[in-house]
Amino acid sequence: MNPAFQETLVRVRERLLAERGAHGHWEGELSSSALSTATAVIALALVDRGQHAALIQRGLAWLTAHANADGGWGDTVLSRSNISTTTLCWAAFGLLNKPAPAAEAWLVREAGSVEPEQLAQTIIAGYGKDRTFSVPILTACALAGRVAWKDVLPLPFELTVLPHQLFRWLRLPVVSYALPALIAIGQVRHHHLPERRWLRDGVRAATLRVLEKIQPVNGGFLEAAPLTSFVVMALAGMGQGRHPVAVRGVRFLVKSVRADGSWPIDTNLATWLATLAVNALGPVLPVAERAPIGDWLLGQQYRNEHPFTHAAPGGWAWTDLPGGVPDADDTAGALLALKTLDADERGLNTDAIQKGIGWLLDLQNRNGGMPTFCKGWGALPFDRSTPDITAHALRAWAVWRDDMPPPLQGRIKRATRRAIAFLTQTQRADGAWSPLWFGNQHAPNDENLTCGTAQVLLGLQALNDPQTQGLQDRAMDWLLAAQNSDGSWGGATQTPPSIEETALAVNTLAVVPRARDAVLRGVDWLIAATAQGRETPAAPIGLYFAKLWYFERLYPLIFLVGALERVATFPALEK
């Protein structure tokens, strides 16, 4: 490779290694969120407007300074205005008796009116059967006086007193991560507009005990300011602002506010970032520093059933903080990273690895795909099978299969066949796959086919299975056709590029001989776009719960390192 390539590679390696904190791993920095800030302001104002006046004013000032030119707000400062975030910001200003004429004008243009019934119908329609976000948004609006309680759909909070094993059988239209909102939002709506009093009045105290039981010790549900804020505002809105759950939730919000007055969408993605960084660096990570990171990762594995989702022991979450929940994507990432860290085969805790592999195998759905959190619910996106997570699990199974005892090897082989069948079924006619956890605001339907296709192709490449060659060829054809004329990639054909998307495509195609020219053009674009690795601006391609957008400061750097390291591994790509 040319000198510019080598210089860039060395620079980004050093930058990524330097991003570790004193603890030795990567925490990163998630984008500030207008939605998080608005919900936190509403929650704090409803609990005690006087005590939290400074935080409230700083939050409103941040929102004012970061409104889009069209008067609305997006989920990040780089995102287009959307109705959910703009509505919540408008509600926050209304609660504090602050005018927001530009936001109101935006809502009139997009929703047709800010009349309560019309606005409520627009928000409900945007989420379809999924009430896990539309109802909390409208609850915040009702608490702020923007809509009437009759415009807020009731939630069956009484069901949370039932044994959790019954939830799947009942096929509740509420995904596992939303239980805190189901309880708190359901209760505050019932408080203001009672229904089925004979049933619900009798279980209010019991469901609040459930809420208290599933709250993390630091008060932050899922480490998420929005979910925690929704719970706090609901409790305060029915006179329970001093309830222990509300007190701990407020403590979490006060602790997690940023210096500029904003709140992020989540505290951090420390475990996820550590696994991505380790897998990107590969053998470049100094040998002496591998064991501490490996020990830290092993320490994040859940040893007991999770009190929130009742996930079995053996999985990993996205963070090392108390609000994390084990999921398939992070578990697969951790297993891959542990294999990378054990490249010299000094031996890791094989029991922990086997438990992690088994956890993933147990989570596989009947259709062969992998969900995010819970097997078999399937009613909503985050508990349905999805191609990107399925491919991630395939990679984890592939790297550890030969190290597993024969019975587990047999399970991996069977699960792999079923996963391939799922990926065959879900590949689009044009060869692409759509992911769950990444999107692109410039692409049709906000889908990020570049990320999805690249991730699935990586999973298939790891199998070395000739029977998947047809799937791979169609995926490669799509990626090659989606490359922009300047060598970059966006989320789909002819979309604005990003470092993240280009790096993912380059990383995947680096091992494909017929993609040589495309890879080299992609590398040239990455070198130029990052000023030879000096600048790595992030793009808002991350998707959080309920389709909330985010960007992570370290994503472009990590993905760039991974791409360049893989290109450097294959001499056939030498110029």
pLDDT of residue 167: 63
pLDDT of residue 343: 64
Fold agreement (32-259, 268-411): yes
pTM of the model: 0.95
Q: Which CATH class is domain 268-411?
A: mainly alpha
Among residues 64, 88, 106, 132, which one has the least CA distance to residue 381? 132
Q: Which residues, listed in sequence order, are joined to residue 552 by a DSSP beta bridge? A: 30
The 10s digit of each residue's pLDDT in 162-210 is 777 666 666 554 445 678 999 999 999 999 999 877 778 888 999 999 9
Looking at residue 429, its amino acid is: A
The 10s digit of each residue's pLDDT in 450-464 is 999 999 999 999 999
Per-domain boundaries in the chain: 1-6+427-575, 32-259, 268-411
404 pLDDT tier (thresholds 50, 70, 90): very high
DSSP H helices, 309-448, are 328-341, 350-363, 387-400, 406-426
Evaluate if residue 540 carries a pLDDT over 50: yes
pLDDT of residue 156: 85
* Average pLDDT over the chain, rounded to an integer: 93
**Topology (CATH level 3) of domain 32-259:** Glycosyltransferase (1.50.10)
369 pLDDT tier (thresholds 50, 70, 90): very high
Task: Scan for tokens 């993905």, then name that residue.
Answer: 559
pLDDT of residue 159: 83
pLDDT of residue 378: 52
The 10s digit of each residue's pLDDT in 75-95 is 999 999 999 999 999 999 999
Q: What is the CA radius of gyration of the chain?
A: 24
Structure tokens at 413: 């082989």
pLDDT of residue 169: 64
pLDDT of residue 254: 99
Q: Are 446 and 453 contacting, i.e. CB atoms less than 8 angstroms apart?
A: no
- CA-to-CA distance for 161 and 241, rounded, in angstroms? 22
Mean pLDDT of 212-228: 96
Mean pLDDT of 441-452: 96
- CA distances 275 to 80, 237, 434, Å, are 30, 41, 22
Angle of helix 83-95 relative to helix 116-127, nearest 10 degrees?
A: 140
pLDDT of residue 173: 42
DSSP secondary structure code for residue 51 in this structure = T
Mean pLDDT of 475-488: 98
Give 561: exposed, middle or buried? Use CB within 10 Å, 0-12, 13-18, 19+. buried
Lowest mean pLDDT among 402-411, 476-485, 534-543, 562-571: 562-571
Report CA torsion sign: 396, 330, 26, 489.
positive
Mean pLDDT of 124-149: 92
Q: What percent of the chain has pLDDT over 90?
A: 83
Mean pLDDT of 264-293: 95
List CB contacts of 445: < 8 A, sequence separation 6 or more: none
* DSSP strand pairing (263-264 vs 542-543): unpaired
- CA-to-CA distance for 545 and 40, rounded, in angstroms? 17
377 pLDDT tier (thresholds 50, 70, 90): low
Q: Are 367 and 387 contacting, i.e. CB atoms less than 8 angstroms apart?
A: no
Among residues 147, 152, 150, 137, which one has the least CA distance to residue 42? 137
Q: What percent of the chain has pLDDT over 70?
A: 94
Mean pLDDT of 101-124: 96
Q: Which CATH class is domain 1-6+427-575?
A: mainly alpha
- CA distances 237 to 33, 234, 378, 390, Å, are 23, 5, 32, 41
Mean pLDDT of 7-31: 96
- CA-to-CA distance for 124 and 534, rounded, in angstroms? 44
Evaluate if residue 572 carries a pLDDT over 60: no
311 pLDDT tier (thresholds 50, 70, 90): confident
Q: Are 18 and 217 contacting, i.e. CB atoms less than 8 angstroms apart?
A: no
Q: Are 72 and 103 contacting, i.e. CB atoms less than 8 angstroms apart?
A: yes
Highest-confidence range of 13-27, 174-188, 364-378, by mean pLDDT? 13-27
Better pLDDT: 289 or 308: 289
The 10s digit of each residue's pLDDT in 329-359 is 999 999 999 999 986 666 667 899 999 999 9
The 10s digit of each residue's pLDDT in 513-529 is 999 999 999 999 999 99
pLDDT of residue 171: 56
